[in-house]
Amino acid sequence: MLSKKQARAFFLGGTVVTFLIFIGLTVYSLSAAQDQSHEENLTESVVRGKHLWEKNNCMGCHTIMGEGGYYAPELTKVIERRGEGYVKAALMSPVPWQPNGRKMVAYKMSKEEAEDMVEFFKWIGNIDLNGFETVVSPLAKDKINN
């Protein structure tokens, strides 16, 4: 059993060690060497694509890196899975698009807007996720693989 003095020393020592570890990990995670977003690859086209993503509320139905709605497919690696042509065709479609019974709004994007979205998806797809697979439901995996 610890005396009152030993318990206080143990508590204060543990608090200081934990605080120092926290500060060290914070500095480490904020260092430039840990930036895996490839900010140097950001182009005006990627930024315009991000603005289109937000303006059209794509996140209401789709997810990117596990964030967003789960109604429609995960789009982090959509260019790898489907290719540029498929994505552009879906975005430029003049009629509502209904893959697998789920209705996607007809955005009727121009060729330039669709290309900006593709550039945004490419940039997102190249972010280093440290081996983490994006969240895709088992049903969606079956549809992707078929």
List the one residue out of 36, 26, 59 whose CA is nearest residue 132: 36
Contacts (Cβ under 8 Å, ≥6 apart) of 97:
90, 103, 104, 106
Contacts (Cβ under 8 Å, ≥6 apart) of 101:
none
Per residue of the chain (146 residues), what is the pLDDT tens digit?
A: 889 999 999 999 999 999 999 999 999 888 877 666 677 888 999 999 999 999 999 999 999 988 888 888 889 889 998 999 999 999 999 888 777 777 888 899 999 999 999 999 999 988 877 666 655 545 555 544 44
Whole-angstrom Cα distance, residue 11 to residue 64? 42
Whole-angstrom Cα distance, residue 112 to residue 106? 16
Q: Quick count: other Cβ atoms within 10 Å of Cβ 128?
A: 10
DSSP 61-121: T-EETTEE-SSS-B-TTHHHHH-HHHHHHHHH-SS-B-GGG--B------HHHHHHHHHHH
* Residue carrying structure tokens 């997102």: 124
Q: pTM of the full predicted structure?
A: 0.69
CATH class of 39-145: mainly alpha
Tokens of 145: 């693989």
Domain limits, the chain: 1-34, 39-145
Going by their DSSP bridges, the two strands 67-68 and 63-64 should be labelled as antiparallel
Asked if 88 contacts 118 with a C-beta cutoff of 8 angstroms, the reply is yes
